[in-house]
Amino acid sequence: MPTRREFIKTTLVAGTAVALFRCAEGRVWAYAQSPKLRKFVAPLPGLGDIPVAAAGTDPAYPGADIYTLSAQQFTQRLHPDLPGPTRLWGYTDQTTGKSVYLGPIIVAQRGKPVVIRMTNNLPPTHILPVDTSIMGAEPGVPVNRISLHLHGGLVPWTSDGGPFAWYTPTGVVDATDGSAGPSFLNGVPGSPGVADYYYPNDQSERLVWYHDHAMGVTRLNAYAGLAAGYLITDSVLSAMQVDNAPLIPGLAYTMPLVLQDKAFKQSADKYGRAGDLFYPYEYEHDGKTARWDLGDPSDGFSPASDSLPSPSCVPEAFLDTPIINGMAYPYVEVEPRRYRFFALNGSQARFYHLQLYYESTLNPGEPDFGRPGPAFIQIGSEGGVLPQPVVFNNPPVQIPTNCDGSVNTDGPFNLLLAPAERADLIIDFSSVPPGSNLIFYNDAPAPFPMGDPRNDYFTGCPDQTASGGAPSTQAGYGPNTRTLMQFRTIALKGAADPLNFDATLQALMSQLPAAYKASHEPDLDSADPHAQREIKTLNEDYDEYGRLIQRVGTDSAKYADSYGRNYMDDPTEIYDEDQLVVWDVYNTTGDTHPMHFHLVNVQVVGRATFDASIPNIVEFVPTSPWIPPDPNYRGWKETVRMNPGEVTRVIMKMSLPDVPFHVPGSPRAGMQNGHEYVWHCHILEHEEHDMMRPLIIRP
């Protein structure tokens, strides 16, 4: 593939040093840091292993459930073959004092508020390398700052946990000593390092999650473990029945599946011990082990490459070991009955294209592609229940490719999850004989959709050490980013499930449309003449060091001929409360970006192609008919995949939550005293550098 430098020289606007479109140039090279780990020797942590938080009350918040949590450092073994327990940063339920990776889970009821009282107990030294050239992480800024974001929650901006709402263990509101950010307004008086987050929970049943969002260290804090599940429940789905039998499996047969990729140190170094997390921190650009291209000074970038920061941010982090619910290569036992799974892509940058196959009898631990497992029935996404069920894995579809080897983004796909996307699934194992094993399989390229084979690990994969990659993966061991987990079917316990797959699907097709209407506000009308229509752009450029940088922008160039804007530039997305807005978002890069919206859920209206030719995009207009959204994109979303060379049209209503107290405007400079939210790419390395923009709502 051409390098980025070769590509950019053919695509620059005359006299400028910024490319407006990127295709399949050399990018992230694969690397394997972890020790060899056996597959499928440890059980999947489930509900119970990841505890549910204990609720209390507080007269200051009548009618609300109160959870007293803390952010702190602890250790946990994420696979029995690791050389030691892994140091993590995570959340602790102060009622029990128990620290568990991805916990504690909070189970909330629709319409019943929740308050999280979060204490910052993190140590002053981060467990990962910190790049002080990133905005918000400059030298002297404390690295143990946090900002709690309820991802997918309809919450007041003061509880949204925005990038500038961070605080340290000594942070207070209006701090003058650098212990808190300028948007931190929810501190608890008289309690330094403590904040209250108020969540109304006026949303339908769905899996949301809470994770850190502090400026300059979001990607590090989330990778270190500052993330946990939050389930909003209501009575709509639980009331659905067939012949007095529940249509949706109950809590006893419900499992979270939090998909992530990590890497682990085989031996100690200056950033940690054997068994600790490895996170890439060198912007490698020379020689055969180069992972990222670098802007050349002859193209107008300075300083020279030998002045790169160290540690340095990287464009994307693709790690070598998949973990689910905090265990690498787990297995899980299931009975021959229906189960409900809440799947969440919690990775930094990796996409997952999920399939299910019977395990091969000739190659244990590997899928038998000729024997597909049970179908997935998707009934919801991160925006709640869908208007119709969508069936995947029936039959399985392996990743489709174009003639150049890149993914055909038109599909068809199985269940595809970008970072931060979720899927509410029903899988019926009743046809699987006890004693059978199934392989949960992924074949999404990384980066998506172009891919580089050096980020793809599977049994017998080519030895790529000569090009800076990894040796071939041995059978039964990692690294393996394709065989994620093993399902083991055991004998039925108790009564048989009264509903089989066909009966379940038929009932869902009949009852889910009414459940959708009962769960949500009416669908939005993109033809409404009162809607404000705007064009947004997704862009990739170089930063001042020549490193790749992704940015959000509009259809007017601000810097040279780049449409990208920095996060700290004056806001361009400013709206009145309840304003109806339609965005056409043009992706001028070579990546699919999962764009996440704080505050609002959106509806995808459609997609079209556009002329992204270089040297200049004169006018942003679709060049193809609009294609309706995929079936599982026809509900509500808060994280939307936006493909390269496509314009994605979304509609949203800028409604603020109802809360029983006054919410002040943002005091931060440039926010116009509005309610301060953001929208950004949820590839965390993109978000941090610098693919995020303010979203300001005027009440």
Domains of the chain, by residue range, sit at 4-27+522-698, 42-235, 321-518
Instruction: Work out whether the CA dihedral 660, 662, 666, 672 comes out positive or negative.
Output: positive
Q: How far is CA 294 from the centre of its chain?
A: 26
Q: What is the pLDDT of residues 109-137, one digit of tens each?
A: 999 999 999 999 999 999 999 999 999 99
The least confident of 116-125, 403-412, 582-591, 655-664 is 403-412
pLDDT at 312 > cutoff 90: yes
Q: What is the distance of C-alpha 691 from the center of its chain?
A: 14
Is the pLDDT confidence value at 221 over 80?
Answer: yes
CA distances from 630 to 410, 412, 414, 606 (A): 10, 10, 11, 9
* Structure confidence at residue 617 (pLDDT): 65
CATH architecture assignment, domain 42-235: Sandwich (2.60)
On the question of a common fold for 4-27+522-698 and 321-518, the answer reads yes
List residues bridging with 359 in a β-sheet.
Answer: 367
Is pLDDT above 70 for 303?
no
Query: Is the model's pLDDT at 152 over the cut of 60?
Result: yes
Q: What is the pLDDT of residues 248-259, one digit of tens each?
A: 999 999 999 999
Q: What percent of the chain has pLDDT over 70?
A: 93
Alpha-carbon distance of 685 to 681, in angstroms, equals 9
Q: What is the Cα–Cα distance from 15 to 561, expressed in whole angstroms? A: 10
| Residue 267: partners with Cβ closer than 8 Å, 6 or more residues away | 83, 274
For the cut 50, the answer to whether the pLDDT of residue 7 exceeds it is no
For 260-298, write each residue's pLDDT tens digit: 999 999 999 999 999 999 999 988 777 666 777 777 666
In this prediction the pTM is 0.95
CATH number of 4-27+522-698: 2.60.40.420
- CB environment 333-350: b (16+ within 10 A), e (fewer): ebbbbbbbbbbbbbbbbb
pLDDT digits 0-9 by tens, 354-392: 999 999 999 999 999 999 999 999 999 999 999 999 999
**CATH for 321-518, among 1.10.287.3510, 2.60.40.420, 2.102.10.10, 3.30.300.30?**
2.60.40.420
Residue 431: C-alpha distances to residues 296, 373, 390, 405, 497 (Å): 59, 9, 20, 36, 11
Q: Which two tokens stand for residue 181?
A: 């950010």
Confidence grade of residue 105 (pLDDT, cut at 50, 70, 90): very high
Q: Virtual CA dihedral for 467, 468, 469, 474, nearest 10 degrees?
A: 90
To the nearest 10°, report the CA torsion of 489, 495, 498, 501.
0
Confidence of residue 20 (pLDDT cuts 50, 70, 90): very low
φ/ψ (deg, to 5) at 458: -160, 160
Q: Is the peptide bond before 311 cis (omega within 30 degrees of 0)?
A: yes
pLDDT of residue 26: 35
Q: Decide if pLDDT at 457 tops 50.
A: yes
What is the residue-averaged pLDDT of the chain?
Answer: 92
Which residues is 120 bridged to in the sheet? Answer: 71
Kindly give, in sequence order, each residue whose CB lies less than 8 Å from that of residue 638, ignoring residues fewer than 6 positions away.
151, 152, 382, 383, 596, 597, 600, 601, 602
Question: Residue 522 has which token pair?
Answer: 């009416």
Q: Which residue has the tokens 């999280």?
A: 116
Q: What is the pLDDT of residues 27-54, one digit of tens each?
A: 333 478 899 999 999 999 998 899 999 9
**Count of other CB atoms within 10 angstroms of residue 158:** 24
Tell me, what's the pLDDT at 559?
Answer: 84
Residues making up the chain, counted from first to last: 699
